[in-house]
Amino acid sequence: MRPNFRWLGFVAAAFMGWLVCASAAQAAIALPNVQYIFTGVCSDCSGVGLGHLFLKGTYQRGNPIQGSDFVSFDYASDLFSINAVSADTISINGIIPVLLPASIDLTFFDQTQNELFTSSAKGAWQWCFSFGQGCFSGDADFGVSSTWSAAPEPASMTVVVSGLLGLRLARRRGRGQGYARVAARA
């Protein structure tokens, strides 16, 4: 018995249509902010330093980060915490690589609060307050290993779940036809 290619063609065409419509809709609406998570093992504090960098959804990994891409940055350890939310008072330099997790070169400077955060592709990192007085004047966190990772986007999780449901329905439909064929032969 030959498989039903007409049904498979319909499913493929419907998926391609959905993909085109979703891409057009995504281009027409504002994309959600994307979260990147910094985890650094502390050399001067206990445990880890944890940071969250939010960039606009229009930022493309692999390209230099512009000030216009910045939304907010926060960092906390058992010793210090910072929260920067104004793109007007910060400067940010770096490139988020396409493949994560990774250690990356990134520099973040908040001019209002005089705070500096840096991480290097070799893993070393530091955060310091009162930057003009030197980073290791007591108001600092630093370490020798760090990674950046991307938080999963809610839209990608929706696509994965809908794909799995589609496979489940296709498998269920295939079983139903098989039972009908056996019943028709008997």
**Domain-located, residue 113:** yes
**Domain-located, residue 20:** no
Residues in the chain: 186
Cis peptide before 152 (omega within 30 of 0): no
**Domain-located, residue 129:** yes
DSSP type of residue 95: B
Q: How confident is the model at residue 62 (pLDDT cuts 50, 70, 90)?
A: very high
Q: Residue 95: its pLDDT value, please?
A: 93
Mean pLDDT confidence for 133-152: 75
Closest CA to 34 of 64, 48, 55, 19: 55
Q: What domain range includes position 101? A: 34-150
Q: Does pLDDT of 1 surpass 60? A: no
Mean pLDDT confidence for 59-74: 91
What does the block give as tokens for 121? 């592709």
What does the block give as tokens for 186? 């008997």
Q: Does pLDDT of 134 surpass 80? A: no
Which pLDDT tens digit goes with each residue over 85-96?
777 778 888 999
Q: How confident is the model at residue 184 (pLDDT cuts 50, 70, 90)?
A: low
CA gap 49, 143 in Å, rounded: 9
Q: Residue 79: its pLDDT value, please?
A: 81
Q: How confident is the model at residue 2 (pLDDT cuts 50, 70, 90)?
A: low
Closest CA to 67 of 75, 79, 78, 59: 59
pLDDT top residue among 102 and 155: 102
Computed over its alpha carbons, how large is the radius of gyration of the chain?
24
Q: How confident is the model at residue 15 (pLDDT cuts 50, 70, 90)?
A: low
| Total domains in the fold of the chain | 1
**Domain-located, residue 121:** yes
Q: Does pLDDT of 66 surpass 80? A: yes
What does the block give as tokens for 157? 């999780």
CA gap 69, 92 in Å, rounded: 9
Residue 136 is inside which H or E element, if any?
A: none
Q: Residue 115: its pLDDT value, please?
A: 78
**Domain-located, residue 168:** no
**Domain-located, residue 127:** yes
CA gap 153, 156 in Å, rounded: 5
pLDDT top residue among 16 and 166: 166
CA gap 80, 138 in Å, rounded: 11
**Domain-located, residue 145:** yes
**Domain-located, residue 118:** yes
